Chain A
Amino acid sequence: KAGVTQTPRYLIKTRGQQVTLSCSPISGHRSVSWYQQTPGQGLQFLFEYFSETQRNKGNFPGRFSGRQFSNSRSEMNVSTLELGDSALYLCASSPRRWGLSYEQYFGPGTRLTVT
């Protein structure tokens, strides 16, 4: 089975611009979660999508948004980029089967640099 894929892998943007990151989960996985990783704040949860609905949200400003499509693929959008948004953005997919498994499998990440 192919793993979680994320595109693009690297991105350089300017302050004030917006960016869209994409994530394709493992086939059959129904849940996609997004995390931000920075040296100062560590790994922080952004949001989770399951069946095209946001099920959980972390403590991030409204500039961070996402969506999930009917094929479980997910996109994350950041508007009005700030220097502090520079980070590795990790996507994780999960089978999300009740009583079975909620473990999350991560993609390689998108490295976003804001200048």
Chain B
Amino acid sequence: AQTVTQSQPEMSVQEAETVTLSCTYDTSESNYYLFWYKQPPSRQMILVIRQEAYKQQNATENRFSVNFQKAAKSFSLKISDSQLGDTAMYFCAFMKTALEETSGSRLTFGEGTQLTVNP
């Protein structure tokens, strides 16, 4: 079974600054995906960024980037130039790669980090 741990329940950052959210995971799988989702007060879960475990290059999506350390089983999210709209709960999630197309899949989530961006 996989576990995902987010050790920072709450974080805050000033607008325009950079913040890094931590995530570690435990798995015996070698092929998997990692994701960061954000859930603002509206409760709509939004996909922020994804990383395939076989890729060494860290994923980047505009102001969002990850630091993926496979050996250390670490997957942190860096948010640059923080904006007020980034205020949300952020979830790190793991999904193992299915062996075949019809195999089941599921996301395993961490506990979440509540990020507040202050003006």
Contacts and interface: CB of A to CB of B under 8 A. Distances in A.
Interface of A: 31, 33, 35, 42-43, 45, 48, 50-51, 53, 55-58, 88, 90, 92, 94, 96-98, 102-106, 108-109, 111
Contacts of A43: 91, 107, 109
B109 A42 contact: yes
Interface of A is mostly: strand
Contact of B98 (A90, A102, A106): A102
A22 B107 CA distance: 20
A108 B43 contact: yes
Nearest to B98: A102
Contacts of A45: 106-108
25 contacts: A42-B109, A42-B111, A42-B112, A45-B106, A45-B107, A45-B108, A48-B106, A53-B102, A55-B102, A55-B104, A56-B105, A56-B106, A88-B43, A96-B101, A96-B105, A102-B33, A102-B97, A103-B47, A103-B50, A104-B107, A106-B37, A106-B44, A109-B43, A109-B44, A111-B43
A3 B95 CA distance: 22
B45 A106 contact: yes
B56 interface: no
Interface string B27-39: 0000001010100
